[in-house]
């Protein structure tokens, strides 16, 4: 449950997080969207790594149960500084990072702006370059809290809609319906253009070439939220990168291909 997490102060943020296991530090960074939190993204994945790694799952500043603060400019530098401060608070000098979607963008930011803090990167469905805003990203912004709207939005994410259970919808809806939650989320997401297409911008190839950390790029071939071309751009730009494209898989690689994902990532992290 979310309530079993801990809280620490990092860069002025009362930061909610979960921690388990022992060994080299491994951060699991969540994506964005209504009702998101570190726990909702990673609760089922944590046990797969806690036998060999110290697993830390924070709610990134402004998301989940780390409250949004009025008057701050939320951007990649703030989020990078926040995660570095979390590391400092936990007395962690260097860690590996598994970043899901938005969390992958934050992990890229860490590798570029704080390279001495990053051991290895695993990037899942991570945006990069420029691409047209997809219905999934647009829907995360325009979402109005209801069970029906949450189900409709979540069905855009996996390849197999059978993954969208009533329990999952209920859990994400309840988190999204907290007072001010969706209003705060909209301040962290790119707003759709009133007319015409909206261009989403991630780190460009010129920035990605600066990453020195060994990097594993993982993407679903049928990802309708962040196009697979983003994963290919990252893999083609980061000097020490490998790409694994999962067939019959959408935006939730860690859930849709959990066994193969864990095997692939454990091997990569252990090399």
Q: What is the pLDDT of residues 90-113, one digit of tens each?
A: 999 999 999 999 999 999 999 999
Q: Answer yes or no: is pLDDT of 2 > 60.
A: no
Q: Answer yes or no: is pLDDT of 247 > 90.
A: yes
Q: Answer yes or no: is pLDDT of 62 > 80.
A: yes
CA separation for the pair 241, 235 (Å, rounded): 5
- What's the domain range around 210? 2-129+202-270
190 DSSP 8-state letter: P
Q: Which of 59, 223, 237, 255 is catalytic?
A: 223
Q: Is residue 251 among the annotated active site residues? A: yes
Q: Answer yes or no: is pLDDT of 35 > 60.
A: yes
CA separation for the pair 193, 198 (Å, rounded): 5
In DSSP notation, 112-169 reads: HH-GGGEEEEEEES---SEEEPPHHHHHHHH--S-HHHHHHHHTTSSSSGGG--HHHH
Q: Which of 16, 96, 251, 255 is catalytic?
A: 251
Q: Which of 45, 96, 101, 255 is catalytic?
A: 101
* Three-class SS state of 17: strand
Taking residues 135-156, report their average pLDDT: 97
CA separation for the pair 174, 64 (Å, rounded): 12
* CB-based contacts of 179, cutoff 8 Å, min separation 6: none
Q: Answer yes or no: is pLDDT of 44 > 70.
A: yes
pLDDT computed for residue 4 by the predictor: 77
Cβ contact 127:105 at 8 Å: yes
Give alpha helix (H) positions in the chain: 38-42, 76-89, 102-113, 135-142, 147-154, 166-176, 181-186, 205-208, 228-237, 253-256, 258-270
Q: Answer yes or no: is pLDDT of 16 > 90.
A: yes
Does 231 fall in a domain? yes
Q: Is residue 223 among the annotated active site residues? A: yes
Taking residues 140-156, report their average pLDDT: 98
How big is the chain by its Cα radius of gyration, in Å? 17
Does 179 fall in a domain? no
Whichever domain contains 246, its CATH number is: 3.40.50.1820
Portion of the chain with pLDDT greater than 70, in percent: 99
Does 185 fall in a domain? no
- Torsion-angle region of 74 (φ positive above 0: left; ψ -120 to 50: alpha; else: beta): beta
Does 186 fall in a domain? no
pLDDT computed for residue 45 by the predictor: 97
Total count of domains within the chain:
1
Q: What pTM did the predictor assign?
A: 0.97
Taking residues 20-45, report their average pLDDT: 97
Taking residues 148-167, report their average pLDDT: 97
Does 143 fall in a domain? no
Does 65 fall in a domain? yes
Q: What is the mean pLDDT of the chain?
A: 97
Does 187 fall in a domain? no
CA separation for the pair 34, 176 (Å, rounded): 5
Q: Is residue 237 among the annotated active site residues? A: no
Confidence of residue 1 (pLDDT cuts 50, 70, 90): very low
Does 250 fall in a domain? yes
Q: Answer yes or no: is pLDDT of 265 > 70.
A: yes
């Amino acid at each position: 449950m979310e309530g079993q997490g801990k809280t620490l102060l990092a860069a002025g943020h009362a930061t909610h997080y979960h921690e388990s296991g022992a060994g080299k530090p491994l951060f699991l960074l969540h994506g964005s969207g209504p009702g998101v939190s570190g726990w909702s993204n990673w609760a089922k994945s944590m046990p797969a790594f806690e036998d060999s790694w110290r697993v830390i799952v924070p709610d990134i500043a402004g998301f989940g149960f780390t409250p949004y603060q009025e008057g701050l400019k939320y951007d990649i530098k703030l989020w990078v500084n926040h995660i570095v401060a979390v590391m400092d608070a936990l007395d962690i000098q260097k860690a590996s990072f598994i970043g899901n979607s938005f969390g992958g963008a934050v992990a890229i930011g860490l590798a570029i702006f704080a390279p001495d803090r990053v051991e290895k990167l695993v990037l899942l469905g991570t945006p990069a370059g420029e691409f047209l805003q997809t219905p999934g990203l647009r829907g995360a912004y325009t979402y109005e809290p209801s069970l029906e709207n949450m189900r409709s939005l979540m069905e855009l994410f996996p390849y197999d809609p059978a993954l969208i259970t009533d329990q999952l919808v209920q859990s994400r809806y309840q988190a999204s319906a907290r007072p001010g939650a969706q209003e705060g989320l909209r301040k962290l997401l790119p707003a759709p253009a009133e007319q015409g297409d909206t261009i989403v911008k991630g780190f460009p190839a010129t920035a990605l070439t600066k990453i020195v950390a060994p990097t594993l790029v993982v993407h679903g071939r049928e990802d309708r939220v962040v196009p697979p071309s983003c994963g290919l751009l990252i893999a083609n730009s980061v000097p020490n990168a490998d790409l694994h494209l999962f067939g019959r898989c959408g935006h939730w690689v860690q859930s849709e291909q959990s066994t193969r994902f864990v095997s692939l990532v454990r091997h990569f992290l252990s090399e």
